[in-house]
Structure 1
Amino acid sequence: MALPRLRDLLGEGGFVVSAWLGLTDPVVHEAFLRADFDAVTFDVQHGLHDTASLRAGIERAVLLGKPALVRLPIEDRALAARVLDFGASAVMMPMIETADDAAAFVAVAKYPPLGQRSYGPTRAGELHGYADRADYVSDARKEALAFAMIETGAAVDNLDAILAVEGLDGVFVGPSDLSIALSGDGTLEPRGSKAEGAIKRIAAATAAAGKIATIYAATPEDAKRYRQYGYRMVCVGSDQGMVVAGARALAEGVRG
């Protein structure tokens, strides 16, 4: 066992479907890990996770054979390095707006010479089965991925410069925040023409830069559409949303 070859799954023609986990319950995590998802993404920015739930969730994902990705809180670069040491396969940093932002993120997510990630992957090495930690370090340079979240007007304006940052593996688009930022009046309209146009442009620019475009999709229909645009990974729905919808549907089914 070694770090999952997430980059290969995301390669040309590849398409990865990730669950989106904001709840901390291990039974919920296991349900999604045993479902037909290629990966799981733990949402720290808006989810309920703390360090303990992230550690346990990442362990569970690794032991059940799925890559674990983490959406970090804004500017929490220290946590980026820590969850990689827990065994995560990728990290996503919100609100990246400039090449300098992206470079600061890469610095903590990548080992030298690409970045300045501090050495200490004891748990990651154990979980992924590395008898020699030097082999983990070598693999992590390529296989521990860093995605800059593109969700503001400034990020769209600076997209080419962000994509040019060495060591950045790709971008992750947040359609909701992007739509609010581009609307001019704060309107939430992730399927509106402005957001859709930007989502298409981001996919094309990322492909042209030789990097990986990924995105959040609220529904399976959105996910299929984004795949047509060239996105290679979608994080679809959410555990909390599915629990709420399932509970309502069950109650309505009995009373209807």
Structure 2
Amino acid sequence: MNSFKEKIKNNQFVLGTMLSEISSPNIARMLKVGGFEYLIIDCEHGYFDYSQTAAIIGVANGIHLPVIIRIPEIRRELITKYMDMGASGLLVPMTGTKEDIEIVVKYAKYMPIGQRGVSTQRAHSEYNPPALADYFVEANNKTIIFAQIETCEGVSNIQDILSVEGVDAAIIGPNDMACDCGTPGDFNSPKMQENIDTVIAAAKAAGKPSGIISGNIPFLKECQEKGMTVFSCNSEVGMIISGAKSIVNAFQLVGSDPHSAKV
């Protein structure tokens, strides 16, 4: 079976979900049982601290569930800590320029691609790294960098963003993009659709995949039909609320049917 990164590189369909609030490490086990292929921990909007994030990554690595961290900002300290925890990679929100993503690659990848700080007897190497030169190659090959395109600026610079060595895919954030297009909540406006098509076309031209994050499954399917292959659908919060409503609605329907009662 291909590794997660190989599937991405080969433009194969991958489906993950977002972790928004629940910090119990075993949430990773639950989501894998559900069939998700990877997990995004939202450290941009979520309030996970370092210890909680490290614990989730630790469990996920033990069950071979890749974890991508959506970073709160482009900063060396954050990138170094998340990568040293053993994260599979990073999702960079509001990527607007080539320079934005170059900084992330610089701090997330070892030489000769980047300048990641070296501290190898840690979780990311299972506390047992091979020879340093060998480990640099191994780690660089495994590390995943997603540029999250959420603005018209990012769309206009998408070719330059995807040209950066070490960037694996362009992932659209539709909520913020729709706001930037002046149509909050409307993913089907002409400008929004034009932006989506532009990102897909640029990714194909660069030989890299594109993807999107949304809880709207029909919308995700439309994007898949257009050529996207990397998807993150919903979150643990969304699934809990949806599941709860489904149970309550089903119970109310049964309770309202006079013929449903058993004697």
Both proteins in one fold, TM over 0.5: yes
Say if 2:88 and 2:143, in contact at 8 Å, map to a contact too: yes
Match of 1:5 in 2: 3
Match of 2:214 in 1: 217
Q: Cα distance, 1:134 vs. partner? A: 4.6
* AA matched with 1:222: F
Match of 1:84 in 2: 83
Supply the distance in 2 between the matched residues of 1:243 and 1:173 (Cα, whole angstroms). Answer: 24
Say if 1:75 and 1:94, in contact at 8 Å, map to a contact too: no
Match of 1:125 in 2: 125
Supply the distance in 2 between the matched residues of 1:130 and 1:74 (Cα, whole angstroms). Answer: 29
Q: Cα distance, 1:241 vs. partner? A: 0.6
Identity score, percent: 28
- Output aligned runs, 1:94-173, within 5 Å: 94-121=93-120, 122-126=122-126, 130-132=129-131, 134-173=133-172
Supply the distance in 1 between the matched residues of 2:200 and 2:119 (Cα, whole angstroms). Answer: 34
Listed one character per residue, the Cα deviations across residues 169-205 of structure 1 (whole Å, up to 9, x for unaligned) are 222210111111112xx52323433222211220110
Q: Within the alignment, does 1:49 sit opposite 2:48 as a pair?
A: yes
Supply the distance in 2 between the matched residues of 1:187 and 1:43 (Cα, whole angstroms). Answer: 21
Q: Cα distance, 1:26 vs. partner? A: 2.9
Match of 2:14 in 1: 16
Q: Cα distance, 1:32 vs. partner? A: 0.4
Alpha-carbon distance change, 190 to 80 in structure 1, aligned in 2, over 3 angstroms = farther
- Output aligned runs, 1:225-240, within 5 Å: 225-240=222-237
RMSD: 2.0
- Length-normalised TM-score, structure 1: 0.89
Supply the distance in 2 between the matched residues of 1:224 and 1:73 (Cα, whole angstroms). Answer: 28
Structure 2 unmatched ranges of 5 or more? 254-263
Report the count of equivalent residues: 250
Structure label with greater radius of gyration = 2
Please identify, of 230-239 and 28-37, the stretch whose mean Cα deviation from structure 2 is larger.
28-37
**SS of the residue 2:58 aligns to:** helix
- Length-normalised TM-score, structure 2: 0.87
**SS of the residue 1:187 aligns to:** coil
**SS of the residue 2:181 aligns to:** helix
**SS of the residue 1:85 aligns to:** helix
